Amino acid sequence: MAAGGGRKVVCITSGGTTVPLEQRCVRYIDNFSSGHRGAAAAEYFIEAGYAVVFLYRIGSVLPYTRSLPDEPLLECLELDDDSNIRVRKSCAEAVKKYHAAVAGNLLIKLPFTTIFEYLQMLQIVAQAMKPLGRYAMLFLAAAVSDFYIPWQSMAEHKIQSASGPLDMRLVQVPKMLSILRTEWSPLAFCISFKLETDSKILLEKADMALRKYKMHMVVANELQTRKEEVIVVTLDEKIPVHRDKSQPDSDVEQPLVELIVDKHSTYINNHR
């Protein structure tokens, strides 16, 4: 619980959005994102006393399932000698934690697939969190499409392959972060993520995003090293956050969430 008594609530967005290429959609452009970061962060925020609204791409990683095999149902259950079904011990802990979080009203999951669903749900959630004021946080880790094909220029039917190369023109997705900050939930503590593959432009782009969209923090990460290190960019500082390499199972999300929770408390307390 927050010091002032109010429950702190974080909306975590996680996974990639898609943009359809045809009106009756067979093909779409997708953004690679496993959802691992958002799922891990959700677990740590719940541990820190937050309630989590988990806005996630269908099929991406869910909280408490990171340590499980790829096909958990098939691989976590086993038959004993009498053909009874049993849960493998290594999987049981995750399931217990998940059910405890749901039963305690600390985790609600909302799935999306397309960029259109994502933006609409983000608006609804952010507006619903507006009454929480500074106790609300938006942790925008989803990999949101930058380009899309407007409905009126989309092919109605499946694009045919017989007629040679395919030329496509995609236009920019309107940036909604400014509207989120000014209208949907103006007091919420806002963290966005910047992923690049080119380290040379990463910090500059993170800094630009911070100023342009008035984020409280931008977490800069590079595709190749994102599981080892991120850099938290604020107006005043650039803070590198590493996973604890002395622990084999450690992750970068644990120290990252610790830092964010701390900064969020300061944000709440400074404006009392």
CA atoms within 13 A on the CB side of 57: 28
Closest to a second copy by CB, 28 vs 267, is 28
Query: Is residue 164 at the binding interface for a second copy, with CB under 8 A as the rule?
Result: yes
Window 13 to 32, contacts with a second copy (CB under 8 A) = 18, 21-22, 24-32
Residue 43's SS3 state is helix
Window 100 to 139, contacts with a second copy (CB under 8 A) = none
Paired with 56 in beta bridges are 14, 111
Cβ(9)–Cβ(142) below 8 Å: no
Which of these segments, 35-43, 116-124, 141-149, 259-267, binds a second copy (CB under 8 A)? 141-149
CB of 234 to a second copy, least distance (A): 22
Tell me the two tokens of residue 183. Answer: 């209208």
* Rg (the chain; Cα; Å): 20
CB of 124 to a second copy, least distance (A): 21
User: Tokens 């891990």 label which residue?
Assistant: 40
Tell me the two tokens of residue 76. Answer: 């976590």
CA of 6: how far to CAs of 184, 197, 251, in Å?
A: 20, 40, 29
CB of 189 to a second copy, least distance (A): 25
At residue 219, φ and ψ (nearest 5 deg) are -95, 115
Closest to a second copy by CB, 171 vs 235, is 171
Name, in order, each residue with C-beta under 8 angstroms of 40's C-beta and a sequence gap of 6 or more.
Answer: 63, 66, 251, 253, 254
Query: Is residue 80 at the binding interface for a second copy, with CB under 8 A as the rule?
Result: no
Query: Is residue 161 at the binding interface for a second copy, with CB under 8 A as the rule?
Result: yes
CA atoms within 13 A on the CB side of 19: 19
Window 170 to 229, contacts with a second copy (CB under 8 A) = 170-172, 195-198, 223-224
| List 62, 137, 217, 233, residue binding a second copy (CB under 8 A) | 62
| List 1, 5, 71, 105, residue binding a second copy (CB under 8 A) | 71
CB of 261 to a second copy, least distance (A): 25
Which candidate, 182, 183, 147, 185, places its Cα nearest to that of 53? 185
Rounded CA separation 77/84 (Å): 10
| List 1, 5, 82, 85, residue binding a second copy (CB under 8 A) | 85
Query: Is residue 74 at the binding interface for a second copy, with CB under 8 A as the rule?
Result: yes
Which candidate, 13, 32, 217, 8, places its Cα nearest to that of 124? 13
Query: Is residue 166 at the binding interface for a second copy, with CB under 8 A as the rule?
Result: yes
Residue 134's SS3 state is helix
Query: Is residue 168 at the binding interface for a second copy, with CB under 8 A as the rule?
Result: yes
Tell me the two tokens of residue 69. Answer: 């095999």
Query: Is residue 58 at the binding interface for a second copy, with CB under 8 A as the rule?
Result: yes
Residues that bind a second copy (CB under 8 A): 18, 21-22, 24-32, 58-59, 62, 64-65, 68, 70-74, 76-79, 83, 85, 87, 91-92, 94-96, 98-99, 143, 146-147, 156-159, 161, 164-172, 195-198, 223-224
